[in-house]
Amino acid sequence: RDSLSKLISGLLIFIYQPFVIGDLIEGDNLYGQVDTITLSSTRVISIDGKMLTIPNTQIINKTVASYTKFPNLRLEIPVTVAPNENLGRIRQILIDLVEEDEEFMTEPQPIVVVSELNISNFKIMLAAWLKDEQDHLTKRFQLRERVFTKLTEAGVDMPLETIQLAAMDVKVHPNGT
């Protein structure tokens, strides 16, 4: 029964091709490039160079994201800024940053949106479409660093998240309890 299940899973991967050799995939605690697909398992090389052998029965029953199945990929970079900052100014800084980089698409255009409003800060997100999805990890790290550097140079206040604790009135009994 187990062998039949493996065979059917392998056939489904060959027929529907949710990924092919060379694709970057992610799912259930794995990320890497597909190296080999057999009827019983799929081998993936992780970003740290490990060879992962995953039974096709596991892959077929899990959600697997392919980073290379479609031609483009959107990167999202979250940023926390102070509530007194000028959102229009920040939006323009971030859009200019992406438009200066030829590795990002101009259509669809990059966007900057407010994703969360808080008392002590608000969270924004820069979203931009990458031309070469194969390079998404490196570009995500580079873009995050460039966003931080550009906003710091522009004097944008990016506060750390804080937790405010209310003072508690504690009464101690004379006997120490």
Model confidence band, residue 136 (pLDDT cutoffs 50, 70, 90): confident
Q: Within the chain, what is the greatest distance between any pair of CA atoms?
A: 78
Round the average pLDDT of the chain to a whole number and report it: 87
- Averaged pLDDT for residues 133-160: 91
- Which pLDDT value is given to residue 28? 82
Q: Which residues pair with 123 in a beta bridge?
A: 80, 116
Mean pLDDT, rounded, for 136-147 = 92
pLDDT at residue 112, rounded to an integer: 97
**75-103 tens-digit pLDDT:** 999 999 999 999 999 999 999 999 999 99
Is the pLDDT at 167 greater than 70, yes or no?
no
Q: State mean pLDDT over 19-45.
A: 90
Residue pLDDT, tens place only, 50-67? 999 999 998 888 888 887
Q: What percent of the chain has pLDDT over 90?
A: 52
pLDDT at site 30: 86
pLDDT on residue 7 = 82
CA-CA-CA-CA dihedral for 160, 161, 165, 166, to nearest 10: 100
Question: From CA 101, how far away is CA 117, in angstroms rounded?
Answer: 29
Beta-carbon contacts of residue 116 (< 8 Å; ≥ 6 apart):
122, 123
| Look-up of token digits 């490039």 | 33
**What is the model's pLDDT at position 174?**
59
